[in-house]
Chain A
């Protein structure tokens, strides 16, 4: 089903990494509406992260059409990234990294501030607000390298929220979080979706999803094999059965 006003629209998209012989994503078509909560599942190497990086224009689209927040991704990925938050998978900061939490969160606004311009008062305020949303104001002046993995994850989440994104792409956001932090982030995500922000999550953990209809997208070998809405409790089953179906095929 195509939403009436899709915030993300991919039409027969092919994506290839620089120097690769063949595309990693092939013939991807996907329409996602404003305020949808999308869970992307599938085995390792299926192209889930590639899909997120195609949506925010970090990877070159070799064929097809992609529009995100009304912007042509192939035309100017930078403009898209100013309106889309992206929490990257796997990171670890050196304990001596010379950046404090507040500096890292403020960085989330650098793209929107623009070249040659300095952060304004409103940028500092948005960064503060994001720290408050994640409940990490007390960490503001701490060096990021000296925080735990879960705290670092929250700081990067705050960095993304600081630019008030219309779309939030999260790659394995729960990987470093304990049970309580996971619940906290899920509550926050439910609130964001309620405010009209579209959330796409790549995850292997399907418990504690927000209590609202979820769109499940299952990927196999660079293709979308399932894309449908279901209750949060059925997400794991949908992903599993799509995986089994593909392995029998």
Chain B
């Protein structure tokens, strides 16, 4: 898609993949941080990771397996909390532990069978060995994530403001909330091969955390977060490939550096300090 700007095919694919993945994750990061469901996002990322590892081991499509695992976890949290009389936080802790155990078991086992290389891609991401279809799929999920927010903007903003107030004004909170989880699970599963299960969380939280330092309005956050994420991710991809550095970890480090700079430069924080 961007070959007219970047003639090198490998670099072009890497940039495209990082662009679509970062924009999709960043718009959803605003929802994740503002609805305060970072633990759910974190657990879903690891469930997708476990699903992909199991899929690889069983020679099934890892993307499909990670989608199934991510969605399953999203829908299991509520019933598990109710049935086992656990707080949602404890349920998430349990599911996270189970997912990590499953993922690590299968990755370690595949290493003993000599399939370690492809499994390691799930951990740290791999932007080089992507098929064109995978990039198209990422473009589609990017459009889906943006369309989801545009179409359900008022419902999403009300839920972000306060779930109970949203319910009291007549919004059908549960279906919208589960749709949110479904889109997050789908995005997480499709971005997993590029970013990696261990780093995906950076993409799901940091862009919104950076945007929050400068934005007073939610609508502005939905623009600033993906813009910042796209710039950082493209820079990370280009720098990583130019200097033969691991792309996803380098980009994750860049995100962290920008976040620290944003906190230091934030006009909103300065106002708070002055108040105190």
Q: Is the CB–CB distance between A98 and B216 below 8 Å?
A: yes
Q: Which residues of A contact B10 (CB under 8 A)?
A: none
Interface residues of A: mostly helix, strand, loop or mixed? loop
Count residues on chain B whose CB falls below 8 Å from chain A CBs.
29
Segment 174-226 of B: residues with Cβ below 8 Å from A = 212, 215-218, 220-221
Q: How far is the CA of A81 from the CA of B162 in the complex (A)?
A: 16
Shortest Cβ distance from B183 into chain A, in angstroms? 16
Q: Which A residues have a C-beta under 8 Å from some C-beta of B?
A: 18-19, 56, 58, 78-79, 81-82, 86, 88, 91, 95-100, 103-104, 107-113, 115-116, 118-119, 143, 156, 159, 163
- The listed residue (A96, A100, A104, A112) touching B212 by CB distance below 8 A is A96
Q: How far is the CA of A82 from the CA of B169 in the complex (A)?
A: 6
- The listed residue (A91, A108, A111) touching B162 by CB distance below 8 A is A91
Q: Is the CB–CB distance between A119 and B154 below 8 Å?
A: yes
Q: Is the CB–CB distance between B215 and A98 below 8 Å?
A: yes
Q: Is the CB–CB distance between B165 and A88 below 8 Å?
A: yes
Q: How far is the CA of A112 from the CA of B220 in the complex (A)?
A: 25
Q: Say whether B132 faces chain A, with CB atoms less than 8 Å apart.
A: no
- The listed residue (A18, A79, A118) touching B154 by CB distance below 8 A is A118
14 contacts between A and B (CB under 8 A): A18-B82, A56-B168, A86-B168, A88-B164, A98-B212, A98-B220, A99-B218, A100-B216, A107-B158, A107-B166, A107-B169, A110-B169, A115-B155, A163-B170
Take A81-B167, A98-B221 as given contacts and tell me if A115 and B157 are in contact as well, using a CB distance cutoff of 8 Å.
no
Q: Which residues of B contact A163 (CB under 8 A)?
A: 169-170
The closest CB in chain A to the CB of B30 belongs to A98
Q: Is the CB–CB distance between B218 and A98 below 8 Å?
A: yes
Take A98-B212, A100-B216 as given contacts and tell me if A107 and B157 are in contact as well, using a CB distance cutoff of 8 Å.
yes
Q: Which residues of B contact A97 (CB under 8 A)?
A: 161
Q: How far is the CA of A56 from the CA of B169 in the complex (A)?
A: 10
Q: Which residues of B contact A111 (CB under 8 A)?
A: 169-171
Q: Is the CB–CB distance between B217 and A112 below 8 Å?
A: no
Q: How far is the CA of A116 from the CA of B150 in the complex (A)?
A: 9
Q: How far is the CA of A170 from the CA of B105 in the complex (A)?
A: 54
Q: How far is the CA of A91 from the CA of B166 in the complex (A)?
A: 14
Take A98-B34, A110-B158, A116-B151 as given contacts and tell me if A159 and B169 are in contact as well, using a CB distance cutoff of 8 Å.
yes
The closest CB in chain B to the CB of A81 belongs to B170
Q: Mark B147-159, 1 if CB is under 8 A from A, else 0.
A: 0000110110110
Shortest Cβ distance from A229 into chain B, in angstroms? 28
The closest CB in chain A to the CB of B269 belongs to A96
